[in-house]
Amino acid sequence: MASSSAAEPIKGSNPIDWTLTDMIDLIPEQLDENNYLCWRCDVELILESQSMRHFIDIKVPELRHRLLALCKDGLTVDKYFHPIFRIRNVLWFLGHSVSDDDLVRCALGGLGHEYDGFVQGILARPVLPNINQLYRLIADHDLLFSNHIE
């Protein structure tokens, strides 16, 4: 009796066998007019993870510019940091990692005037927090500020 070989590929495990529907199912967000950057980063990460980078044209300077152009503008901390983390990951996949200090400075730069005191306090520290610590600090700041207003 013939047994199946362990060397046989699992059906659908080869990215070339994937259909567009299979790839779309991996994208956590549906594209709309408000989330193009996040959606595009998700698509790029999926293509990158499947070694399909050669099918896309990502320009590193464009991604770096997007980091500098991000603004919080009333977004929640999660929605503000999501594209920061996505762009960081895409740049890392492309071999152009961004230092934590640069990410922190980009994130601080997009906060707006209502955060001026907060930003000055962070920049006055002898050592900047890493990007994950900054995320938590901004979340705590927003929570305290929203409780103070109520």
What span, in angstroms and rounded, lies between the C-alpha atoms of 138 and 120? 13
Q: Are 58 and 90 in contact (CB under 8 A)?
A: yes
User: Taking the CB of residue 15, how many other CB atoms lie within 10 A of it?
Assistant: 14
> What are the domain boundaries of the chain?
17-50, 57-148
pLDDT 10s digits, 101-141: 999 999 999 999 999 999 999 999 999 999 999 999 999 99
Q: Tens digit of pLDDT for each residue in 44-61?
A: 777 777 776 665 656 788
What do you get for the CA distance between the two ends of the chain, in Å?
Answer: 74
Q: CA geometry: angle at 146 spanning 144 and 150, to 5°?
A: 115
